[in-house]
Chains A and B, each alone.
Chain A
Amino acid sequence: MVRRLVLGFLLVWSAFMFLAHLQKALADYDRRNVFLSDPVRWRFGMPQIDVLQRCFAEARPLIPPGSVILFTSPGPQDAELFRWRWAAYGLPEYDVIQPETPRAAEMAEYLISHRVPIRLPRAKLMKKLSGCQLFRVQPL
């Protein structure tokens, strides 16, 4: 009898967990259009991902595959890191680096500035894109 009770208890527990998580996921899904600034919590389908994807779609025809792109998106360190990783995922045919990458200034051929416009002496603005700016970086 105790064995059946143990299993029954676990069954109720797991069923409750499943239903609670399903309900939470559905509620979150209904709120997917809310703008979240923290990129740790970004998911596909959120407005900020759409902005990034539009930026990359517009940049792609202007950059030869295999180029090294410096992606800048200043902010708190974690946020910057996660935005960089989203950029790497969105631009798989390129080598996407961030300013903290060793020798980034030497390697970069193009620069995508996301959110915050930047000015660099060696970076020549190629085009303003949706939510970002594309620069050609002059060799050192």
Chain B
Amino acid sequence: MAGAVMFHLLLTAYDFLGVRWGRVAVVLPLVVLAGLGRRTARTPRTARTLDWGEGAALFALTAFAAFAPTLWIATSDFIFHWGLKGERFFLARGVDYSWLAKGWNWVIHPDYPNLLPELFAGTAILEGWEGRFEASSQMLWSVLFFALILVSGREALRQTDTPRPFAPAGLAIAAFALAGFGIVHRMAGAADWMPALALAAALPALLRPADREANREANREGDWEVGIAAAFAAASKIEGMPLAAFLAGVQFLRRREMGAALRLGLPMAVVAGTWAIQTFRHGLYQKFNSGTFDLGRAPEVLRGFTEVAGWKESWHGLTLVLLATPLLLLPRRTRAAGAVISLQLLFYLWTYLSSAVDTEYQVVASFPRLAMHLFPAVVVAGAVALGEREGPLPG
């Protein structure tokens, strides 16, 4: 994730400087940065077999991974939005702001952050002898993000010493639900994996005690983990911007140190700041992103939520699990994660109550994808909360 954020900032710097993206320009600085980077402490390896939760997660991931490159489950947003941008940026060898600013391109959300199209363009630059844009290769980003969500969830469960059967069950539920939704709702090539990954990757740090007495080095590591996850969220989708603020804000309230503020806020501020400069400089911001807040829209929002929660819908009713989010605020261990997830849920509710277009349609069309941002984190944090009293208490 840190590499993706660095990649995004590198390409953004190139755009500011007018440098065209090429193989050397893209790869060389990343190799140098990776070489200069500090290695994080490795988790001690112990020879062991997969537990049943990891096995189930691997099976679900494999099913999604087998489908994704066929393009059969490619999201329509890949055609209408992300993939089109990626190929255009690949051809232009940079973010094509003049093209994004053209009046008819309001349909492709020209004001959205560009990390995913940049990853697509970067992949295309490196593909083949002269570079080429292959949609099926780009689908593998979704497979990677899915895998990293599961790895992050597994790490959160491991670090919290969540006992069996809660840890394997939590991982398996997250994997089955994400894979099922990803396949039927056609989520290959979508950006929604990225906010989900940002939240999942921040979970180990959010679930770790963060008081001053705790290990200083672990606290600093946790700040970086959350700070980078926040920057990644901010670079991925416009909904990732508030998620980034909630991640960094909640972790800062736990840490309350100037150094922590820098580690948490700086990566996100650079990403959001450069996005804001380019968006407003090129006049890309779309007015239809928000309307006037009106509680009178609540019945329409509720109708939309009810429809999405239906048994025959893509989540098979599993979105109801999100109703348990406030319960995550009760155990001390999951309070920070619960706060971030609750704030993001409230933000989604606020956007629907401020919807500038047909509210019920907007809920039905978008909430299944937005629920995906939160679902794995709710399940993993929920498994931690459920298993806490049966396992060792947090130190």
Binding site for B on A (CB under 8 A): 3-4, 6-8, 10-11, 13-22, 24-25, 28-29, 32, 40, 43-45, 65, 81, 85-86, 88-89, 92-93, 95, 97-98, 101-102
Contact of A89 among B72, B79, B318 (CB under 8 A): B79
Q: In the assembled complex, which residues on chain A have CB atoms less than 8 Å from the CB atom of B91?
A: 65, 92-93
Is the beta-carbon distance between A85 and B181 smaller than 8 angstroms?
A: no
A86 to B74, CA, bound (A): 13
A94 → chain B closest CB, angstroms: 10
Q: Which of B366-395 contact A (CB under 8 A)?
A: 379, 383, 386-387, 390
Q: Is the CB of B316 within 8 A of A7?
A: no
A57 to B318, CA, bound (A): 43
Query: When the two chains form their complex, are residues B177 and A25 in contact, meaning their CB atoms are under 8 A apart?
Result: no
Q: Is the interface of A mostly helix, strand, loop or mixed?
A: helix
- List chain A residues, Cβ under 8 A from B173: 7, 10-11, 14
Chain A positions within 8 Å of B390 at CB level = 3
Q: Are B166 and A7 in contact (CB under 8 A)?
A: yes
A14 & B79 in contact (Cβ 8 Å cutoff): no
CB of B362, distance to nearest CB on chain A (Å):
16
Residue in contact with B84 in the complex, picked from A4, A8, A15, A92, CB distance below 8 Å:
A92
Q: Does B361 sit at the interface, judged by CB under 8 A? A: no
- CB atoms of A20 and B316 under 8 A apart: yes
Query: How many residues does chain B have at the interface if contact means C-beta atoms less than 8 Å apart?
Result: 49
Chain A residues contacting B176 (CB-CB under 8 Å) are 11, 14-15, 17-18
Q: What are 6 A-B pairs at a CB distance below 8 A? A: A10-B379, A11-B172, A17-B181, A21-B180, A25-B184, A93-B91
Which residues of chain B are near A28, meaning CB under 8 Å? 72
Q: Does residue B169 face the partner (Cβ distance < 8 Å to A)?
A: yes
- B293 interface residue, CB < 8 Å from A? no
| Chain A residues in 8 Å Cβ range of B88 | 92-93
Q: When the two chains form the complex, which single residue of B79, B80, B183, B317 contacts A25, counting CB atoms closer than 8 Å?
A: B183
User: Is B99 interfacial (CB-CB < 8 Å)?
Assistant: yes
Shortest Cβ distance from residue B226 to the other chain A in the assembled complex, whole angstroms: 27
Identify the 6 closest CB pairs spanning chains A and B, nearest first. Answer: A44-B71, A18-B180, A21-B184, A17-B316, A14-B176, A18-B176
Q: A4-B165, A45-B72, A89-B84 are in contact. Are A24 and B184 (CB under 8 A)?
A: yes
**A22–B172 touching, CB < 8 Å:** no
Q: Is B254 an interface residue (CB 8 A)?
A: no
Q: Are A85 and B73 in contact (CB under 8 A)?
A: no
Chain B residues at the A interface, C-beta cutoff of 8 Å: 56, 60, 63, 67, 70-74, 76, 79-80, 83-84, 87-88, 91, 99, 102-104, 107, 133, 135, 165-166, 169-170, 172-173, 176-177, 179-181, 183-184, 186, 314-318, 321, 379, 383, 386-387, 390
* Candidates B79, B103, B169, B315; contact of A11 at CB < 8 Å: B169
Give the contacting residue for A18; candidates B179, B383, B386; CB below 8 A: B179
CB distance from A47 to the nearest CB of B (A): 14
Bound form: Cα–Cα A25–B277 in Å = 42
Q: What residues on A are CB-neighbors of B379 within 8 Å? A: 10
Chain A residues within an 8 Å CB radius of B72: 25, 28-29, 32, 43-45
Given A13-B318, A93-B91, the answer on whether A18 and B71 have CB atoms closer than 8 Å is: no
| A17 vs B178: C-alpha distance when bound (angstroms) | 10
Among B165, B170, B186, B318, the residue within 8 A (CB) of A17 is B318
Distance (whole angstroms) from the CB of B381 to the closest CB of chain A? 13
Q: Are B135 and A20 in contact (CB under 8 A)?
A: no
**Cβ contacts under 8 Å, A8 to chain B:** 165, 169
Q: In the complex the two chains form, is A85's CB within 8 Å of B180's CB?
A: no
Q: Identify which of A3, A24, A43 contacts B74 (C-beta below 8 A).
A: A43
Q: Report B-chain residues with C-beta under 8 Å of the C-beta of A44.
A: 71-72, 74, 135
In Å, the complex CA distance between A44 and B78 comes to 11
Least CB distance, B131 to chain A, in whole angstroms: 14
With a CB–CB cut-off of 8 A, which chain A residues contact B87?
A: 89, 92
Distance in Å from the Cβ of A45 to the closest Cβ of chain B? 6
* Contacting pair B84 A102 (CB below 8 A): no
A115 to B: closest C-beta gap in Å: 18
CB contacts (< 8 Å) of B83 on chain A: these are 89
Give the nearest-CB partner of A97 in chain B.
B104
Rounded to whole Å, the gap between the CB of A88 and the closest CB of chain B is 6
Given known A-B contacts A13-B316, A14-B318, A45-B70, A85 and B183 have beta carbons under 8 A apart: no
